[in-house]
Structure 1
Amino acid sequence: MTSLGIYLRGMLMGAADIVPGVSGGTMAFITGIYDTLLTSIRSVDLEFVRLVLKLDVRGAWEHINGGFLLALLAGIVTSIATLARLISWLLEYHPVPLWAFFFGLILASALVLLRQVRGWNPARGLCLLAGVSVAATIALAPVVNMHFGLAGVFLSGFLAICAMILPGISGSFILVLLGMYGTVLAAVNSFDLVFLAVLAAGAIAGLLCFSRLLHFLLHRFHEGTMALLTGFLFGSLLVVWPWKQVLAWVAGSHGQLKPAQQLPVGPVEFTALTGEPAQVPLCLGLMLLGFFLVWVINVRWGDPAT
């Protein structure tokens, strides 16, 4: 796997992470680096600490596959830095066509994962249904209140990072559901060091714990876990469905209202509820474009050797 190939995969992950409801883990999965990513993260262990304390920098770097993580992180940062403004502008002024494009991306991603599950049986079918149910429940869930001190901040970071490495579930979307989205944005803008340190500690703890769990499941129960993750993707289609009715709102960092709970509706009902055009032909075209791009990405970069 070349550094350029890893960097480009990182850019795809960064582009996905910018969007509320879309997970960078999805892109890691369809481009063939998900298992390598989990293995590298879980390598931050006691052996890594021992090597660092011995000042064996090279050994520590090789232990965690540092070259892979650095190239991937560089791609993620590049993508976020270059695409954040564009995606934010599109979400603000052209949300329906943008969500239609993402719907095509996620649908194709789910089908790519579905093809990777071998030997379907009732147990794996139940895993698929369980994934769909969990993701759909999260997508349709009302906001909960996590404002109970620094313990709530730590738990929010823990849960959000776990969701971020799961295909189909966005960490930022989890923060919205926990009622912490606006609070986190405000802390970032005000540079609240205590808040951010506790949030980061929760995220690091979640990343180290959850990556180990996923790595274990993928190696011990690979087909069942793949079916479960595929179900997450299919269930998350409710998040990126372009036509929605907003049931609840949450305040952003500047006091602006952002959707916190939404219900998918049809194009005609969407127009009746909002007075905005459904733009069905454009949305269908963008769905097909997103679908096509994922298949191209999977064919071109789905092989980890690229």
Structure 2
Amino acid sequence: MATFKGPAFRLNNGIEMPGFGLGVFRSEPEKTVAAVQSALAHGYRLIDTAAAYMNEQQVGEGIRASGVPREDIFVTTKVWMTDYGYDRTLHAFDRSLRKLGLDYLDLYLTHWPVPSAFDETVASYKAAMKLLAEGRVRAIGVCNFSSSHLRNLIEQTGHIPAVNQIEVHPFFIQSDLREADEALGIITQAWSPIGGIKRDGEKAKASGKVLDPLSHPSVVQLATKYTRSPAQIILRWQIQIGTCPIPKSVRPERIAENIDIFDFSLAADEVRAISALDTGERGGPDPELVSPQTFPLTTHD
């Protein structure tokens, strides 16, 4: 069984989190079990899911089938906006834990800020604080929070999130937000770290502005130089700018390829060249506009 050879982050409460993981956003349930097993066999030790992904049960099955001890795996899930509010979040946590088949979580995240109902967002986070205090989760954090959202949350709760999971890829590097996270002692986790959201996302398809970092000449040239895939070049860039990338795949060969990035490094000017591809345009939703109304999804069975 492979052991994790990548970096680790020490979170602001002292907990150690692997610096690379498998994301299962929209991974079909019937493929998720095998994907999680494959990832753990290839040395992944962080698995990131969410109530809204509708595959928590299969993630749990993959963990149990892997043979890797539970204490060696860092499991993350997220509460969805329709479950915001103090009591609703506590119930949602119990439901996620039941689906995963686990008796604790390593990281519990608030999936989006809801600026139009931020009091509910805060109440949800306070519920997560209760779960943290009870030892039912080892760390808590947020997703898609801007620096102003973070300041507002911290002012109202007195608690600094351990992680802020945000869209980061070569076409949207979010350097100011990453710097704000770092200044607060928050680890930045990168979703869509290879930039698939700019290629396959609903916004890209609707606008006709389909972009793919994997085919950009700067990335392709570096892939040729290092005899690596373009995806490996981008994921190596993520490591060197200090994020924790969580690429999604259900293909065993791609899962193995994605984590095989810890035996080479990009030069500083190469890292800067990839960062210079930033367009300043996100591929995913604008956190200022997100609400349960914009994503009418229920996570209940």
Q: TM-score range by the shorter chain?
A: under 0.3
Question: What TM-score do you get using the length of structure 1 for normalisation?
Answer: 0.27
Structure that is richer in helix per residue: 1
Larger radius of gyration: 1
